[in-house]
Amino acid sequence: MIKGVCIVGLGAIGGWMAAHLSRVEGLRVSALARGDTLAAVRDRGLRLDSGKDSWQAPLRVSSNPVELGPQDLVILAVKGPALVDVAGQVAPLCGPRTRVLTALNGLPWWFTAGLPVPGLALKSVDPDGHIARMLPPERIIGCVVHASCFVQAPGHVRHVQGNGLLIGEAAGGASESVAGLAALLVRAGLGARAVESIQREVFYKLWGNMTTNPVSALTRATTDRILADELVRRFTTDIMREAALIGERVGCPIAQSPEDRHAITRSLGAFKTSMLQDIEAGRAIETAALLEAPRELAQQLGVATPMLDALLGLTRLMDGCRALRSG
């Protein structure tokens, strides 16, 4: 029975989930926050705007996980570059039976745990194994978010579209724990569904995002403009074909064609990717989880990825130059 939930990462997705969970009667919802977000939520609660609906969610917030204490569920909704530092902060929130739900972009450190191919590793997202030691796969429930939100101001989140959450055991298989969590999230007004293989869902979302995200960061273009350019669209298509071969080798086959996925992306209109939003806000970008991790898998599997390599190289170069300018 889940009675206490703590959200770590009170940004767009974490804030959206926290606000919905705060409406569940009898559920204690808290959050680990800092800086302006901590001050704003302490002062007036967390605000969520969704369509014509808007509400303030009172949350217990702290910058010190020890103050919040062990939880039944921790929702980890931070950006990949912050994970190494955050993993240690999650430990005081965990008791013997605490589960950790990860709402992250790209390939997470636990991705290889539930794959049918033994011996694969993702050092690109967890170089020395620190995250896995703090948060082993057996504790993790993976989550794929199909929703778009953004932070309008500290402690103020706007939900744009989508309401889907797919969840599953990081180590694979079904469980009562995942089924119970899905039911709780549905009670909170979120479109949650338990799945047998969360790895397949994680890889499918990566397949759709791993091109437009970095291309938008490189060019500052919205997705409609990216796909409108025939040469750029062909480049993204070639990368998606390389990634689909990686997915097939690790037991995560892609049923769609790149053209099918482009049609879905076009339907979003002039959409700003999360990586473009991070660039504009001066935040770190998730190159490791979106590009380095699938390339690392490809190298271990012997899959050639010249187009993915080119995109990774350009993205790293752009980000390195950005760091030099800001320094």
Instruction: Answer whether 198's CB lies under 8 Å from 167's CB.
Output: yes
Instruction: Specify whether the CB–CB gap between 216 and 272 falls below 8 A.
Output: yes
Q: For residues 18 and 185, what is the distance between their CA atoms, to the nearest angstrom?
A: 11
Pair of tokens at residue 266 = 């076009």
Residue from 3, 52, 79, 205 carrying the catalytic annotation: 205
Amino acid making up residue 99: R
Length of the chain equals: 327
93 contact partners, CB below 8 Å, separation of at least 6: 6, 8, 32, 65, 68, 69, 70, 71, 74
Residue 205 a catalytic site member: yes
Alpha-carbon distance values, 80 to 60, 124, 146, 278, 299 (Å): 25, 11, 18, 12, 21
What are the residue numbers of the active site?
205
